[in-house]
Amino acid sequence: MLVPMAFKLPESVLVVVHTPRLEVLLLKRADGGSWASWGAWQSVTGSREPADPDLAATARRELLEETGLAAGMLMDWRLTNRYEIWPQWRARYAPGVTHNTEHVFGFEVGAAAPATLDPAEHVAQLWLPWQEAMAKVFSPTNRDAIWQLPRRILGHTGGT
């Protein structure tokens, strides 16, 4: 007997993991696909699951699954992005779902430290100054979130 496939919810989190010095953790996706030539670098991301009581729980779950990080300060940036789901990933969602709503969080850790990666999801990690991290990510919403980091953490617009 076939078990029906559970579709992903079109709601997700983006978590910018950073230090007080604005070093940002980036993860390289294992499933780079056709855009692997871009490097497939990103912050922590993941879809909300029906069992998650709220978006902060989704963010904490994804942080633990993707990095092993639990000690740090999670901040809801109260920023949402709505974007079209790339065609190659639409089969993961219910028929007719074409857009996702992404909720942005920050997660401050005391210092850059190695993450524990799930090799099925990520194959490499980097800690970079925020400017370099911003230039390396493939997602425009991820780039924008990293661009906002200095203002959100230090209260200025992010000069060098």
Residue 118 has pLDDT above 70, yes or no: yes
CATH of the domain at 56: 3.90.79.10
145 — pLDDT class (breaks 50, 70, 90): very high
Domain that holds residue 100: 11-154
Please report whether residue 2 resides in a domain.
Answer: no
Please report whether residue 73 resides in a domain.
Answer: yes
Quote the number of domains for the chain. 1
CA gyration radius, the chain: 16
Mean pLDDT for the chain overall: 89
Q: What is the distance between the alpha carbons of residues 119 and 29, in angstroms, rounded to a whole number?
A: 9
pLDDT tens string 82-102:
999 989 889 999 999 999 999
Please report whether residue 1 resides in a domain.
Answer: no
pLDDT tens string 16-42:
999 999 999 999 988 765 444 456 899
Please state the pTM of the whole predicted model.
Answer: 0.88
State how far the alpha carbon of 106 is from the alpha carbons of 7, 27, 97, 118, 152, in Å.
27, 15, 27, 21, 9
